[in-house]
């Protein structure tokens, strides 16, 4: 059993490895040899004013080819302050600035646990890689200019992936924090050798671009339907970043994978289903009202999945004038499995990680 921390992950994982792993697992899902379980959130009132709820989350996936199953677990203290006119989600574990996210990797050959992996670096690269697949399969081949709304970690890995699947020459970036935007522009220009131009507004950032990328933590839309231009490709991090009726104005829309919003009617104990998340909330009505209810796009159930596109059961872009949208949520568990498996295999090959006894996790009492 290996303990693999973020430093170990950083030594072995890059965006090319991630994109290869993701593409492979989507191909595997297309033939039925990989599967994933969508995210389930559980909320319990914390009694803390700074973070009124504790949230535990789980998602899982497995691959026949890799021979592993991976479960990702999150443990967060959460709040939803309003900043710069937008409500956004904040989280921490123990104290602001520290987080608890773990990947538990199990062998599908003998059921033993083989690794526990910190998810911080892997998660950022994994999400960016997913958006990169959307660009690969849906954007115009001659897409060169990106409009980036957001300047944090996801905005970095999204651009890393875009630059691998398309010849990106320019980025226009906006977020409410001007200093973060300037830092992002300097870093990403140096990293990719391209022009990265700070924009004065979200509208300015997306005007005249080929690819729009929304990478924020807001629970409100940051893109407007009337900003959509012929041939444009749009992707996101959260369902809330896109207008509720966006699917009715875009020509082609594809989601990464399963949508728990399809669970209708909801189980009687569940409180919401949006995107690929299913939520259960404890507490009294006044407490429960604190938790935002993000309503899924009304047509999400009818959206084809990326595996449908790969199998030829759904049409993607058929002309350069079409607008396309990749809903970068779903198939989360399967994505974590394939990237965690690639990291584990490479960490083991390089002799990294910290060995602990597998017997600590086994028992002689049947559960």
Give me the sign of the Cα torsion angle 207, 212, 216, 222: positive
- What is the predicted pLDDT for the residue at 67? 98
2-122+333-360 and 127-257+296-330: identical CATH topology: no
The CA distance from 300 to 291, in Å, is 22
The CA distance from 258 to 288, in Å, is 26
pTM summary value: 0.91
Q: Which conformational region is residue 220 in: left (phi greater than 0), alpha (psi within -120 to 50 degrees), or beta? A: beta
- What is the predicted pLDDT for the residue at 274? 62
185 has pLDDT over 90: yes
- What is the predicted pLDDT for the residue at 220? 83
Give me the sign of the Cα torsion angle 243, 249, 251, 254: positive
63 has pLDDT over 90: yes
The residue-averaged pLDDT of 235-251 equals 89
364 phi/psi in degrees, rounded to 5: -105, 15
Q: What's the pLDDT tens digit per position in 307-335?
A: 999 999 999 999 999 999 999 888 899 99
The residue-averaged pLDDT of 44-55 equals 95
Q: Above pLDDT 90, what percent of the chain?
A: 79
Domain ranges of the chain: 2-122+333-360, 127-257+296-330
Non-local (6+) Cβ contacts of 59 within 8 A are 36, 37, 38, 39, 40, 71, 72, 332, 333, 336
Q: List the structure tokens of 44.
A: 């319990």
Q: What's the pLDDT tens digit per position in 254-293?
A: 999 876 555 566 777 877 766 567 889 999 999 998 888 7
Q: What's the pLDDT tens digit per position in 79-131?
A: 988 776 667 789 999 999 999 999 999 999 999 999 999 999 999 999 999 99
Instruction: Share the mean pLDDT of the chain.
Output: 92
- What is the predicted pLDDT for the residue at 344? 98
- At residue 298 the predicted structure's pLDDT band, cuts being 50, 70 and 90, is low
- Nearest residue to 71 via CA among 61, 85, 81: 61
Supply the CATH classification number for the domain 2-122+333-360. 3.30.1780.10
Specify the CATH number for 127-257+296-330; select among 3.30.450.40, 3.40.50.720, 1.10.10.60, 3.30.530.20. Answer: 3.40.50.720
């Amino acid at each position: 059993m290996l303990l693999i921390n973020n430093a170990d992950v950083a030594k072995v994982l890059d965006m090319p490895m991630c994109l290869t792993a993701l593409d492979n697992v989507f191909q595997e899902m297309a033939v039925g040899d990989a599967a994933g379980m969508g995210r389930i959130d559980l909320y319990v009132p914390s009694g803390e004013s700074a973070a009124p709820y504790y949230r535990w989350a789980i998602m899982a996936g497995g691959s026949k080819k890799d021979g592993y199953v991976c479960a990702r677990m999150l443990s967060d203290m959460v709040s939803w302050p309003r900043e710069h006119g937008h409500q956004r989600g904040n989280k921490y574990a123990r104290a602001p600035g520290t987080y608890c996210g773990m990947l538990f990797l199990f062998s599908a050959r003998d059921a033993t646990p083989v690794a526990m992996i910190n998810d911080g670096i892997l998660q950022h690269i994994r999400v960016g890689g997913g958006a990169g697949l959307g660009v690969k399969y849906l954007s115009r081949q001659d897409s060169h200019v990106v409009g980036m709304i957001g300047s944090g970690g996801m905005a970095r890995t999204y651009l890393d992936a875009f630059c691998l699947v398309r010849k990106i020459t320019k980025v226009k970036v906006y977020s409410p924090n001007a200093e973060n935007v300037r830092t992002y522009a300097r870093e990403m220009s140096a990293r990719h050798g391209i022009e990265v131009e700070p924009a004065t507004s979200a509208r300015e950032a997306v005007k005249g671009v080929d690819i729009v990328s929304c990478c924020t933590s807001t629970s409100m839309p940051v893109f407007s339907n009337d900003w959509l231009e012929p041939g444009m490709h749009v992707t996101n991090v959260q369902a809330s970043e896109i207008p509720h009726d966006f699917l009715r104005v875009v020509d082609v829309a594809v989601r990464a994978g399963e949508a728990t919003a399809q669970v209708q009617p909801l189980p009687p104990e569940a409180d919401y289903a949006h995107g690929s998340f299913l939520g259960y909330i404890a507490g009294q009505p006044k407490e429960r009202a604190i938790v935002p209810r993000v309503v899924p796009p009304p047509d999400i159930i009818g959206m084809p999945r990326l595996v449908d596109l790969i199998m030829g059961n759904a049409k993607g872009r058929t002309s350069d004038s079409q607008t396309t949208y990749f809903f970068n949520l779903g198939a989360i568990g399967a994505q974590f499995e394939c990237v965690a498996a690639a990291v584990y295999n490479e960490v083991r090959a390089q002799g990294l990680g910290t060995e602990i006894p597998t017997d600590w996790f086994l028992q002689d009492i049947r559960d």
